[in-house]
Amino acid sequence: MKKKGFTLIELLVVIAIIALLLAIVLPSLRKAKAVAKSLVCRTNLKGLTGAYYSYAVDHQNNLCGSWNYHDHPPDGSGRWGDPWDWAWSPWVVGGNTSAYTSYSYKATLAERHEGIRKGSLFPYVGSFDCYHCPSDASFGGNFRSYSIPDSLNGKWSSSSAWDNRTTLSEIKNPGDKYVFIEENDPRGYNINSWVIDPSLGVLSSRWLDPLTVWHSGQKTVGQSNFGFLDGHAEMWKWSRDTTEYFLKCDATGTWPSFVPTSPEGIEDLRRIHQGWP
């Protein structure tokens, strides 16, 4: 019997059909992957807020610090924060000093983990992965993706226009107040607390510390996750103006101040004001 193979035209038709199917399926797969990563991120935030609440209950209602304890870097700049801060700066494994190397770009993963392990919340969390968003694409290569607003036992309140909450009972309407946000500090790790603008206060008309827009999958509408004190997590969508500002910070490694002018951009900032704890 004669064996007959495929003709060139038949092979080209098959290849074209496969290419067409991949073009149809791949966007859906990418979207499903992005949704799964965002779900993991919100699960992380729920775990962190649960740990945050448990810490306060175990410590006479006192909140952990929102900064990152940092002690005696080699450049002689001294220390900041407190030992009861929720997470420390990258730390020398087995040592007694911070792993400080020019804004910590060169800190190893083990040193980043060590800073997290020394933080006051780690005994309640027990997992390094809970501190990292799988969509994290920060300019500084951060491992810890999340930060706490400065008004929750921070350091800026003495020189800024907001009250400093030091106990759990001082936080009103916990279901409306975010405790953990996704920050995009470009200096190698999310240094200390997060603020809207440290010089103009909580009702500032401008942004300064950048948030992330990693969960959108598109360049015009960014999305960020927030963890709230009652234990739930939400994804917030941003306007084009706000998204462009956050993307610019991520692309350039800088965070110039930004004053929104569009109604949608102003509404973004107002929403942040309302959730500030």
Contact 33, 211 (CB under 8 A): no
pLDDT of residue 75: 61
Summarised one tens digit per residue, pLDDT across range 103-153 is 667 789 999 999 999 999 999 999 999 999 998 888 778 899 999 999 999
pTM of structure: 0.86
- Model confidence at 49, pLDDT cuts 50, 70, 90, reads very high
CA 165 from centroid of its chain's CA atoms: 21
pLDDT of residue 235: 93
pLDDT of residue 188: 84
- Model confidence at 82, pLDDT cuts 50, 70, 90, reads very high
- The contacts of residue 24 (CB under 8 Å, 6+ apart) are none
Name which of 15-24, 230-239, 254-263 the model is least confident about: 15-24
226 sits in which H/E element: strand 223-228
* Percentage, residues of the chain above pLDDT 70: 83
Report how far residue 224's alpha carbon sits from residue 138's, in angstroms, rounded to the nearest whole number: 13
Summarised one tens digit per residue, pLDDT across range 235-251 is 999 998 899 888 888 77
- Model confidence at 29, pLDDT cuts 50, 70, 90, reads low
What is the arithmetic mean of pLDDT over 218-228? 82
**Secondary structure of residue 135 in the 3-state scheme:** coil
What is the arithmetic mean of pLDDT over 42-46? 96
First vs last Cα of the chain: how many Å apart?
82
Higher-scoring residue by pLDDT: 133, 14: 133
* Alpha helices per DSSP H over the chain: 8-58, 109-118, 122-125, 240-252, 263-275
* Percentage, residues of the chain above pLDDT 90: 49
- Model confidence at 59, pLDDT cuts 50, 70, 90, reads very high
